């Protein structure tokens, strides 16, 4: 089917929530992706940090299809091996104690919010439920995770939102402390690199202050690693750059390598926060998604992550100081380019020349597959340099 046919049907029948680029993808291989007309592109988006090894990675496909031909689903009334092994692998990578599986980032964050609130209820009694999040954050699209999202633009038209969220300016520890004194709090929830908010990296000093405040007030620290997790920043989780282990970590996007899965990782203080009957998900820990995710987690070893850092360094070295570039933020293969040209024009020109990237607020956001070849990266970066300089 041609793009025009697909577009027509999509416009007629798919809910009108997305402004799509005028292209339809058919297939791919690694970082290369092919449209309906046969044009090939180098993909620096990975489906928004999801396709960890790019498209149709052979080893990942085998892990998924082997499981698919055995058992696709069983419900959480029973045990399955992929779910158990994935939880073990995630705990071993992260130093966390227990995992609850969900199906998306928003749902993982809902689980984390429930765990933090229940832990607070059991420990401190009713009413200590406020969760402090950061301005400019993004935590999801459900009513509760929108409430958690610290951007006013998201707090319109869907009232009433879930109560119990207040927002602190990232980097301002005094404001954070004062909010913990004004409200009876359960937790502080942060992204270490705000993704949708514009690839804003929290400083070590600020994170140290957040930890100090949380310790003093007995608040849990929830780190939203939906986008930053699973090798994206060059370590398994972004918190590993900051030298601490959070109380709760949420992740999704790259975990499944392209299949929908989310996870709430519970540390020592939160491992018993959820008990039977308090939380559940029909699809959570689904054997196929878990088998795909297990392949992702097992392959992200030290050597692989070093490769992420090398690719990151290559991009930063090539683009910093390049014509049309004001600056670069981010870590690993989650980078934001502050460009002189309007970012939408840069993206359109790059797409014309066969390179895909997306925005993060006003920045150009690069999220290539973590194993993109250096040849592809060189070609893509040359195109970016050309269109950024225009």
Ligand X SMILES: *Cc1c(COP(=O)(O)O)cnc(C)c1O
- Binding residues for ligand X (CB under 6 A): 104-106, 109, 138-140, 191, 195-196, 224, 226-227, 252-253
C-alpha 241/C-alpha 233 separation (Å) is 9
CB of 46 to ligand X, least distance (A): 12
In the complex with ligand X, the residue whose CB is nearer, 230 or 295, is 230
CB of 275 to ligand X, least distance (A): 25
CB of 104 to ligand X, least distance (A): 3
In the complex with ligand X, the residue whose CB is nearer, 195 or 258, is 195
Q: How many CB atoms lie within 10 A of CB 4?
A: 11
In the complex with ligand X, the residue whose CB is nearer, 220 or 238, is 238
* CB distance 43 to 370 below 8 Å: no
Tell me how far CA of residue 136 lies from CA of 96, 253, 353, 361, in angstroms. 27, 20, 32, 10
CB of 358 to ligand X, least distance (A): 12
CB of 229 to ligand X, least distance (A): 9
In the complex with ligand X, the residue whose CB is nearer, 102 or 355, is 102
Helix, strand, coil % over all residues of the chain, rounded to 5: 40, 20, 40
In the complex with ligand X, the residue whose CB is nearer, 110 or 376, is 110
In the complex with ligand X, the residue whose CB is nearer, 252 or 335, is 252
* CB distance 285 to 107 below 8 Å: no
Q: Which residue lies nearest ligand X, judged by its C-beta? A: 105
- Please name the helix (run of DSSP H) or strand (run of DSSP E) that holds residue 245, with its range, or none: none
Concatenating the DSSP letter of every residue in 303-319 gives: HHHHHHHHHHHHHHHHH
- The two structure tokens encoding residue 153: 């633009």
CB of 320 to ligand X, least distance (A): 24
Its sign, for the CA torsion 316, 320, 324, 330, is positive
């Amino acid at each position: 089917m041609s793009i025009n046919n697909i577009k027509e049907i999509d416009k007629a029948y798919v809910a009108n929530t997305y402004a799509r680029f005028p292209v339809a993808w058919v297939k791919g291989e690694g970082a290369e992706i092919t449209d309906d007309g046969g044009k090939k592109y180098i993909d620096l988006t990975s489906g928004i940090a999801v396709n960890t090894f790019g498209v149709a990675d052979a080893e990942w496909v085998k892990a998924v299809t082997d499981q698919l031909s055995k058992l696709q689903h069983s419900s959480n009334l029973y045990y399955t091996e992929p779910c158990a092994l994935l939880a073990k692998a995630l705990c071993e990578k992260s130093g966390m104690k227990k995992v609850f599986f969900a199906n998306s980032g928003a749902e993982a964050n809902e689980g984390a919010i429930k765990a933090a609130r229940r832990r607070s209820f059991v420990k401190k009694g009713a009413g200590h439920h406020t969760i402090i999040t950061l301005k400019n954050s993004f935590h999801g699209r459900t009513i509760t995770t929108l409430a958690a999202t610290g951007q006013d633009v998201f707090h319109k038209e869907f009232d009433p939102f879930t109560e119990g969220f207040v927002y602190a300016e990232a980097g301002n520890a005094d404001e954070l402390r004062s909010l913990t004194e004004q409200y009876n709090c359960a937790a502080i929830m942060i992204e270490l690199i705000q993704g949708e908010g514009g690839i804003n990296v929290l400083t070590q000093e600020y994170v140290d202050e957040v930890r100090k405040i949380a310790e003093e007030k007995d608040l849990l620290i929830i780190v939203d690693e939906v986008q930053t997790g699973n090798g994206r920043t060059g370590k398994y989780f972004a918190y590993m750059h900051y030298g601490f282990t959070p109380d709760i970590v949420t992740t999704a996007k790259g975990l499944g390598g392209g299949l929908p899965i989310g996870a709430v990782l519970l540390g020592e203080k939160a491992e018993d926060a959820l008990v039977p009957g308090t939380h559940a998900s029909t699809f959570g820990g689904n054997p196929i998604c878990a088998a795909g995710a297990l392949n992702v987690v097992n392959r992200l070893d030290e050597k692989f992550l070093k490769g992420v850092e090398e690719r990151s360094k290559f991009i930063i070295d090539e683009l910093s100081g390049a014509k049309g570039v004001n600056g670069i933020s981010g870590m690993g293969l989650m980078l934001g380019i502050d460009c002189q040209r309007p970012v939408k024009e840069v993206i359109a020109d790059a797409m014309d020349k066969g390179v895909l990237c997306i925005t993060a607020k006003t920045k150009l956001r690069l999220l290539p597959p973590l194993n993109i070849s250096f040849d592809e990266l060189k070609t893509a970066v040359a195109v970016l340099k050309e269109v950024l300089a225009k």
